[in-house]
Homo-oligomer: A and B are copies of this chain.
Amino acid sequence: MATIRRIHKITDEKFLNMYILEGEKKTGAPMRYQLASRAGRVEDLKMKSQKKDADAVIVYALYAGEEAFDSKDEAACQSLRESADLRVVMVRQYRAAVDSFVYELPAGLVDPGEDMRQAAARETFEETGLKLDILDVDPIFEKARFTTIGMTDENNGIVYGYAYGLPDTAHEEDSEEIEVILADRKRVREILAKGKVSMPTAYQLMHFLGEGDPFAFLS
């Protein structure tokens, strides 16, 4: 396999940096590879730290209404998932990377000291004003995955659940511009057809579009 012999950090930015990996390909030919990473130092790159926890978390949540909701109440969950008016919690937010608004599931970086589930609940509240009741699922559905391994070592986990309360964006950060969208299947289809959408959002929403249980794949 290829051998990485030297790693240079060639930018000095706050949130994202570029690293150059030098070494040899499997053939012995020289390798020069560009890596964008949220790691602030070479030793924090995933290949050095072997960190497996999620850098960020994405929340796929069904909207359960204004009142407190308990995912342990199986009859209520089933009734909700079978409802003709079922809605999924989405946000539409300004993204500097494309200088426009993008449709996404609620998501955000896991803060130091937080686990993925704490981050999911915090981000859901900050971005939408909603409380999150998180599902226990087989870890294969939630563990951190590399978002785009050809250019970065970033990974993201997913948390699934039911969100309840009144949507509001009073809690968003200064740098955020967010609209909360409680989208039914018709709206989701329109968004996927016409909107700018993030990949994890589009992929998770493929489970929401059909007539069946939008969490069926988790069982």
* Copies of this protein chain in the complex: 2
Kindly list chain B residues whose C-beta atoms are within 8 Å of the C-beta of A143: 192
Interface positions, chain A 1-42, Cβ under 8 Å from B, are: 1-2, 4, 10-11, 13-18, 20-21, 25-27, 29, 31-36, 38
Distance in angstroms from A113 CB to nearest chain B CB is 21
In the complex, whether A98 has a CB less than 8 A from a CB of chain B is yes
- Contact B34–A15 (Cβ < 8 Å): yes
Given the complex of chains A and B, what is the CA–CA distance between A192 and B138 in angstroms? 10
Which bucket holds chain A's interface residue count?
Answer: 35 or more
Q: A95-B149, A97-B151, A148-B152 are in contact. Are A206 and B217 (CB under 8 A)?
A: yes
Known contacts A148-B148, A217-B210; A27/B99 CB under 8 A:
no
Supposing A27-B174, A217-B209 touch, asked if A47 and B99 sit within 8 A by C-beta, the answer is: yes
Contacts of A169 in B (CB 8 A): none
Complex contact A98–B146 (CB within 8 A)? yes
Q: What are 21 pairs between A and B in contact, CB < 8 Å?
A: A13-B18, A14-B32, A16-B36, A21-B96, A27-B174, A31-B175, A46-B98, A95-B146, A95-B149, A97-B150, A97-B151, A97-B152, A98-B149, A104-B149, A141-B206, A145-B199, A147-B147, A148-B198, A199-B200, A206-B217, A207-B217
